[in-house]
Structure 1
Amino acid sequence: MERKTIDLDQGWDYMHKGITKLKKILEGLPEPQFSSEEYMMLYTTIYNMCTQKPPHDYSQQLYDKYKEAFEEYINSTVLPSLTEKHDEFMLRELVKRWGNHKVMVRWLSRFFHYLDRYFIARRSLPALNVVGLTCFRELVYNVVNANARVAVIALIEKEREGEQIDRALLKNVLDIFVEIGMGQMDCYEQDFEVHMLEDSAAYYSRKAATWILEDSCPDYMLKAEECLKRERERVSHYLHSSSEQKLVEKVQNELLVVYETQLLEKEHSGCRALLRDDMVEDLSRMYRLYHKIPRGLEPVANIFKQHITAEGTALVQQADEATNQAANGSGLQEQVLVRKIIELHDKYMAYVNDCFTNHTLFHKALKEAFEVFCNKTVAGSSSAELLATFCDNILKKGGSEKLSDEAIEDMLEKVVKLLAYISDKDLYAEFYRKKLARRLLFDRSANEDHEKSILTKLKQQCGGQFTSKMEGMVTDLTLARDNQTNFEEYLCSNPDANPGMDLTVTVLTTGFWPSYKSFDLNLPAEMVKCVEVFKGFYETKTKHRKLTWIYSLGTCNINGKFEPKTIELIVSTYQAAALLLFNTADKLSYQEIMTQLNLTHEDLVRLLHSLSCAKYKILTKEPNTKTISQNDSFEFNSKFTDRMRRIKIPLPPVDERRKVIEDVDKDRRYAIDAAIVRIMKSRKVLGHQQLVLECVEQLGRMFKPDIKAIKKRIEDLITRDYLERDKENPNMFRYLA
């Protein structure tokens, strides 16, 4: 049976009735919903009109009429309802109309579905859905978006001022800006976001201008943090998520970037004041606010650095003044200073870790600040020496630091951290080695484990070369103990080899220990025998090693038979040799003692001063003055007594500082020579400037080489034919293999 042809007017008339019913439903008029029969009839009508043979295929005409249906509805109903309303009421109407429009598009697309499947697909035309949404965009959105935007921004500002607003309404309105772009964000960004961001910037600019004058730095930051939190909430409640970063940046710029200098440098509450008053929470907030801003932390780190530098420098100045005022210059002030610097480091390291979440910028600021005042001298002592003395105090028996093992470990860890800031690490190493030698040789070290522990820490910090000699010293002492045991066994098994007294000899390896003067002291006969016996023993152990006796480091216990009572005297080998002379002579002149002992004038003055002018007057001298002169004569003081049965007679201290500095200077010359030769060997030809720079870089880990010293060493190497100047360019050097 042939299908009856439907002409265009008749078919559209039927469709128009269906569309009118849909409009009534949308307008909320009393109208029953579509039954499935009605829906099927509308769909079928379109299907039939599109599948009739030409010229009765009305696909194109129906496609056009589909669009006209929307245009007619929008112009007659939607636009009038929107233009008569304003502000929030207009927004509500817009949301309602957009919702209805989407329903209408959905229903009509179903009625006209056959067009979508075949006609549109074949002709590559915009889909029905797109046509429907485009109608709304062109006829409604383009007309009302400016008013809608103004209304939305006004509501946002109300909310910023603390009023309650309908957030759901804003969300729905802004969804229209997003959805109308049909997959693109252009409408939302150009018609709404740009203006909203400008308005937000203007709003916060006004607020910031007031707050910066009225509020303290902590209060201002609290407000800024709260504002940023609220703006982020705003995004989560109704703005599109893509706006968050842009909005936050605008607010940060107005509140934090524009007024950064003013805020950080507020007189009684800025960054310096927060550091001074330990306002940890506020400093953490400052970090949180500024670390998200490009280069925002740099001014904070700069103030942090200046503050620490000022505090550290003040500590050094106080110690300097106190040391100069203290008549005895006991070194106590310097020890207190090191302790205070360690406390300062602990305090600000905690800030770096806790307030500034370990940010590299603050580590760098802390390092640079400490490098400034950790390299200042205090009462003529370099920080390298102070640090070495501080370690000595912790590690020696009866040092001023009474600490538990854990506390000592902790303190040593901190000292080694401070060493990182000191430019003359080689100077520290030399002072430390001198003091370590005294602790080891005179049995003054409190705990061998601590000695090894600090060496491990120093090795980690400064490398194996830094500690190799010190480790050798500790090993030497262990070997020396074994050696002494062997010596005692040797004495037991060789009754002929009897030194006639208790003898302990410590054998050391020359390269590890500081250099000590070895004099040909004329030993008394008793001591000569000891030396011979030990030589005999040592030759049984090795033929290849030469023993050099360093009497200046030796100690002797001798019995002084005084008239009131016998007292045991603990003296140095020099002092013992001098006292033993009085076993065979009652009175000796300065010259006689000098000749018999074969000592230098300088050493003899120290020696005789300790025995005749100091606390214990074992010798009496003529004339009875406080100083030693070459015309003095000495006698054994048989009347001497003391309440103790055993006394130690110290020698006046020698100024070791000068010697250490001289030794270090000498080592530095070798180090500079080695660095220059190393660089030139690999480069063959190099300019003066570049050579100096590379030299400074290579040596910088141990000390800060002086540029003049480098130039001097270059000249010296030229005279020794390691390098030569270029004939053409005197600023170029060549390596001579």
Structure 2
Amino acid sequence: MLGNERKTIDLEQGWEFMQKGILKLKNLLDEGHPETEFSSEEFFMLYTTIYNMCTQKPPHDYSQQLYDKYREAFEEYIMSTVLPSLREKHDEFMLRELVKRWGNHKVMVRWLSRFFYYLDRYFIVRRSLPPLNEVGLTCFREMVYQELKVKVSDAVISLIDKEREGEQIDRALLKNILDIFVVIGMGQMDYYENDFEAALLKDSAAYYSRKASSWISEDFCPDYLLKAEECLKQEKDRISHYLHSSSGPKLLKKVQHELWSVYESQLFEKEHSGYHALLTGDKVENLSRMVRVFSKVETFLDPLANVFKQHVTAEGTALVKQAEDEADSRKANKKDVGLQQQVFMRKLIELHDKYMAYVNGHFQNHILLHKAFKEAFEALCNKGVSGSSIAELLATFCDNILKKGSSEKLGDETTEEMLEKVVKLLSYISDKDLFSEFYRKKLARRLLFDKSANDDHERSMLMKLKQQYSGQLTSKMEGMVTDLTLAKENQTSFEEYLSNNPNANPGIELTVTVLTAGFWPSYRSFDLNLPAEMVKCVKVFREFYQTKTKHRKLTWIYSLGTCNIIGNFEPRSTELIVTTSQASALLLFNSSDRLSYSEIMTQLNLTDDDVVRLLHSLSSAKYQILNKEPNTKSIAPTDHFEFNSKFTGKMQRIRIPLPPMDEKKKVIGDVDRDRRYAIDASIVRIMKSRKVLDHQQLVMECVKQLGPMFKPDLKAIKKRIEDLISRDYLERGKDNPNLLRYLA
């Protein structure tokens, strides 16, 4: 029987054999053939030698000694070959040599780790020692990297600065060098960050500090920003090509700080070319670039938005002041003030269009700038102008666009565009209900007195309002338009009734517009003593209306009526277009040559205020249909009046206006009343669904619910809550008075 006992290999003999293999590897590396493979036989012999030396019985198990020899092989090669070759070279040549030696070292680690693989599998695992690959890297780190890291870092940064100055550099070389900083950390970024990145950030800050200091003193801000933008673009390019991605945010922050944050005040305030100056000068292209740059720098965002908001607010405030100054200088002439208000509204719309285009176009609809623009216009549109709210002026502006014979002569398309802009402007107004009421008043006059220039535009405006703010704003107005259509049908029926009943005809051409009270603004009703001719008209129409319905009550609004009467003056007859009350007063002079103030007041059954307005329009205004004694401009209770038979007018038909009453107070009063109802309804709705709710929470929910139409006053809400408690809609909690309970 043959024996197969293995021959023991002593340490010196075995290591001598291994050194031959290591020597061959070194020669291959030095000759520039690091990837030349060992033959299978050579590899097997070297691996087997290590295996045998590690698996021999003690004291011939040389695992520990071979582990030490493995390290010594690297140390000897580095000391004898690697370091001398690196020490004799400098700058870019040193970097190229380092890349070569690092590549060779990795090959050496790979081959030796394979030769000594048995150590990794068993000895190192049992002893919890660093693995062979790590030992090889550690040798390079401790002997090569630690000695050269400062020189290498300086050389890399020097090349980066050359590239910043426009020189061509070998980017692949830098990528390979920086990979060494990363890999040498063996999973940690400490070496890259501490030995290279920190120096890069410091150098970059100094480099761009020098550049920025020079540019800011020489260049206009837009030119400065062009250069700064290009620098940032180049730094991003470096990050993508050879810097580690983790350096990106830090480097960009450093560059942005030196180029922009340091010079924030100059960039915003620089004369002729700063952000302020560009806004004032409408330099849109430069502004667009500036905003594009600023919006990328976090520290610029708030100042960017604030300056824009202040600028828009300042321009809007200047418009308000100009309008108020014009109004003060023209107080004597209300017509001029009205025209000036129209000019103001047009300028306000133009201002909105201008800066809305800035935000949406040149400012890329940036959310902060959009918010700043919105806040500026909200503040502006909720201010008063010469005692009038923007809500009122906006309604008047619409009226001027939509009524016949207005100063705003616009084509159909332009009218539609202008109405669209009005609706946009309305979005900034808190008290939309106030606009709605003023608009409704003016719409009513256009509809009732046939003053609308175009019915399609009227319907289009209501549709725009409805789409933007729901039917809550337009329901009554839509009812008004429908009402007028029904009223025309009713008038046609009335005319048929008269033709079928000749005896009922009053002998006067009569047109009656029947309206639904709930849709229309409230008008003051008074018991005017009508002349006999008009009494007959009222009676005839009432009889007709009773044939159609017996469940509706007719209330006559004489203040809205008009009459066409013939004035038989000595020079010639003239047709006078007057109100119902004016006609009633003039007809009194058919039976009396001279009447006193008190006689007219008694016979017509009017109040002092109404009589004064009436008699002023007929005797002391533009047309003197009545002669007054004494001949003064003001109306007094002691005055007497006679028919002016010698009156002459330039036209055969004359409209005699009644001095308009100031309806603003009434509109505001109506809105306040409607708000009380709206607050009550909101509170009841909320409490009905919640049953029990904290007082403060109820107030907040009420504010939120009513917000789209108007900004409710907190005191008003609390007052309405108290009123609802007193009317037994709500009650306070017995144990907690802040807790409210709904009473069904």
2:249 paired residue number? 245
Residue pairs, 1:507-526, within 5 angstroms: 507-526=514-533
1:43 paired residue number? 43
1:179 paired residue number? 183
1:438 paired residue number? 445
Report if the CA contact (8 A) 1:6-1:49 is conserved. Answer: no
Shift of residue 443 of structure 1? 0.8
CA RMSD of aligned residues (A): 3.6
Residue pairs, 1:54-203, within 5 angstroms: 54=56, 65-108=69-112, 129-203=133-207
1:394 aligns with 2:397: no
Q: In the alignment, which of 27, 30, 42 is matched to residue 27 of structure 1?
A: 30
Q: 1:589 to 1:249 in 2, by over 3 A?
A: same
Q: 1:713 to 1:247 in 2, by over 3 A?
A: same
CA–CA distance in structure 1, aligned partners of residues 682 and 460 of structure 2: 31
CA–CA distance in structure 1, aligned partners of residues 668 and 41 of structure 2: 109
Q: In the alignment, which of 461, 466, 474 is matched to residue 467 of structure 1?
A: 474
Report if the CA contact (8 A) 2:21-2:46 is conserved. Answer: no
Q: 1:695 to 1:266 in 2, by over 3 A?
A: farther
CA–CA distance in structure 1, aligned partners of residues 348 and 546 of structure 2: 52
Q: In the alignment, which of 656, 660, 663 is matched to residue 663 of structure 2?
A: 656
CA–CA distance in structure 2, aligned partners of residues 694 and 678 of structure 1: 11
Residue pairs, 1:194-213, within 5 angstroms: 194-213=198-217
CA–CA distance in structure 2, aligned partners of residues 556 and 684 of structure 1: 59
CA–CA distance in structure 1, aligned partners of residues 192 and 35 of structure 2: 35
CA–CA distance in structure 2, aligned partners of residues 735 and 162 of structure 1: 77
CA–CA distance in structure 2, aligned partners of residues 378 and 501 of structure 1: 47
Shift of residue 663 of structure 1? 2.7
1:628 paired residue number? 635
CA–CA distance in structure 1, aligned partners of residues 666 and 480 of structure 2: 20
2:228 paired residue number? 224
Opposite residue 193 of structure 1, the aligned amino acid is: E
1:567 paired residue number? 574
2:379 paired residue number? 372
Shift of residue 670 of structure 1? 4.3
- SS of the residue 1:496 aligns to: helix
Greater displacement, 313-322 / 66-75: 66-75
Report if the CA contact (8 A) 2:50-2:115 is conserved. Answer: no
Greater displacement, 524-533 / 176-185: 176-185
Where structure 2 has 5 or more consecutive residues not aligned to the other structure, the ranges are none
CA–CA distance in structure 2, aligned partners of residues 710 and 235 of structure 1: 60
Q: 1:712 to 1:104 in 2, by over 3 A?
A: closer
Opposite residue 305 of structure 2, the aligned amino acid is: A
- SS of the residue 1:275 aligns to: helix
1:333 aligns with 2:340: yes
Report if the CA contact (8 A) 1:43-1:113 is conserved. Answer: no
Opposite residue 284 of structure 2, the aligned amino acid is: V
Report if the CA contact (8 A) 1:43-1:112 is conserved. Answer: no
Opposite residue 41 of structure 2, the aligned amino acid is: M
Q: 1:311 to 1:564 in 2, by over 3 A?
A: same
CA–CA distance in structure 2, aligned partners of residues 6 and 493 of structure 1: 142
Which deviations, in whole Å up to 9, do the C-alpha atoms of 1:450-509 show, x marking residues without a partner? 222322333344443332222222221122122222222333333333232322211111
2:560 paired residue number? 553
Opposite residue 387 of structure 2, the aligned amino acid is: G
CA–CA distance in structure 1, aligned partners of residues 14 and 720 of structure 2: 108
Where structure 1 has 5 or more consecutive residues not aligned to the other structure, the ranges are none
1:491 paired residue number? 498
Shift of residue 248 of structure 1? 0.6
Residue pairs, 1:594-673, within 5 angstroms: 594-671=601-678
CA–CA distance in structure 1, aligned partners of residues 446 and 426 of structure 2: 21
Report if the CA contact (8 A) 1:618-1:636 is conserved. Answer: yes
CA–CA distance in structure 1, aligned partners of residues 400 and 216 of structure 2: 52
Report if the CA contact (8 A) 1:423-1:702 is conserved. Answer: yes
Opposite residue 326 of structure 2, the aligned amino acid is: A
Shift of residue 275 of structure 1? 0.9
Q: In the alignment, which of 527, 532, 536 is matched to residue 539 of structure 2?
A: 532
Shift of residue 13 of structure 1? 4.6
1:383 aligns with 2:390: yes
Shift of residue 122 of structure 1? 9.3
1:271 aligns with 2:275: yes
CA–CA distance in structure 2, aligned partners of residues 253 and 480 of structure 1: 72
CA–CA distance in structure 2, aligned partners of residues 499 and 577 of structure 1: 17
State TM-score, norm by structure 1: 0.88
Q: 1:42 to 1:544 in 2, by over 3 A?
A: same
Greater displacement, 134-143 / 88-97: 134-143
Shift of residue 123 of structure 1? 8.7
2:297 paired residue number? 293
Q: In the alignment, which of 368, 373, 377 is matched to residue 361 of structure 1?
A: 368
Q: 1:727 to 1:102 in 2, by over 3 A?
A: closer
Report if the CA contact (8 A) 2:34-2:107 is conserved. Answer: no
Which deviations, in whole Å up to 9, do the C-alpha atoms of 1:95-148 show, x marking residues without a partner? 121122234445555666787789889998766555544432333223322221
Shift of residue 544 of structure 1? 0.8
CA–CA distance in structure 1, aligned partners of residues 117 and 692 of structure 2: 85
State TM-score, norm by structure 2: 0.88
Greater displacement, 312-321 / 714-723: 714-723
2:316 paired residue number? 312
Q: 1:69 to 1:41 in 2, by over 3 A?
A: farther
CA–CA distance in structure 1, aligned partners of residues 46 and 698 of structure 2: 91
> Once the two structures are aligned, what percentage of the paired residues are identical?
71
1:280 aligns with 2:284: yes
CA–CA distance in structure 2, aligned partners of residues 120 and 723 of structure 1: 83
Report if the CA contact (8 A) 1:197-1:247 is conserved. Answer: yes
CA–CA distance in structure 2, aligned partners of residues 354 and 736 of structure 1: 51
Report if the CA contact (8 A) 1:374-1:421 is conserved. Answer: yes
Greater displacement, 531-540 / 707-716: 707-716
Which deviations, in whole Å up to 9, do the C-alpha atoms of 1:295-334 show, x marking residues without a partner? 5311111111111111111111111111111241321111
Shift of residue 692 of structure 1? 6.5
CA–CA distance in structure 2, aligned partners of residues 48 and 552 of structure 1: 121
Report if the CA contact (8 A) 1:551-1:573 is conserved. Answer: yes
Opposite residue 151 of structure 1, the aligned amino acid is: A
Greater displacement, 487-496 / 107-116: 107-116
Shift of residue 342 of structure 1? 0.9
Q: 1:637 to 1:33 in 2, by over 3 A?
A: closer
- SS of the residue 1:297 aligns to: helix
CA–CA distance in structure 1, aligned partners of residues 182 and 735 of structure 2: 74
Residue pairs, 1:704-719, within 5 angstroms: 704-705=711-712
1:453 aligns with 2:456: no
Greater displacement, 524-533 / 548-557: 524-533
Shift of residue 286 of structure 1? 3.1
- SS of the residue 2:565 aligns to: strand
Report if the CA contact (8 A) 1:39-1:111 is conserved. Answer: no
CA–CA distance in structure 2, aligned partners of residues 80 and 552 of structure 1: 112
CA–CA distance in structure 2, aligned partners of residues 519 and 570 of structure 1: 21
Greater displacement, 439-448 / 554-563: 554-563
CA–CA distance in structure 1, aligned partners of residues 602 and 699 of structure 2: 52
Opposite residue 492 of structure 1, the aligned amino acid is: S
